[in-house]
Amino acid sequence: MQLKVLTPTQTLVDEAATQVRAEGLEGAFCLLLRHRDWVAALVPGIVGFTTPAGLEQFVAVDQGVLSKRGVEVLIAVRRAVREGDLRRLRQVVDTEFRQLDDQEKAARGALARLEAGMMRRFLQLGEGRR
């Protein structure tokens, strides 16, 4: 298979792979060449892949999308880090990618509260005109 890991600014990986391992919303999975076409939403984690020479490679990815179509596996994420040290990659996922998700959740919650407050005000204004 040909694996490509894409971010908005670069192609981080463009290599042959005999298998690709990742984690989606439904759990971890492994793709092999003869597997059917597949699309999955990825959660922040580590994507592992095996090269034709048998080397294990790893990439820390933010949330994104993986699609397998024929022999091509495309992973599109906002951020990704490739490094040989697996412990360092786990640290990147835990401290950078998952922390940002928590911040985004808090920001979305604040935005939802603002929207709800605006809707209440509009309803109050509408009631005042009756």
Residue position matching structure tokens 């959740």: 105
Residue 99 banded pLDDT, cuts 50, 70, 90 = low
Is residue 98 scored above 80 in pLDDT? no
Q: Which residue, 79, 76, 75, is CA-closest to 97?
A: 79
At 104, which amino acid appears? Answer: E
> Mean of the pLDDT values across residues 105-111?
70
CA distance 38 to 19: 14
Q: DSSP code of 36? A: P
At 9 the pLDDT is: 94
Is residue 130 scored above 80 in pLDDT? no
Half-sphere CA count of 117, side-chain side, radius 13 A: 6
Domains with residue ranges and CATH for the chain: 2-128 (2.60.15.10)
pTM of this prediction? 0.71
Least confident of 39-48, 53-62, 114-123: 114-123
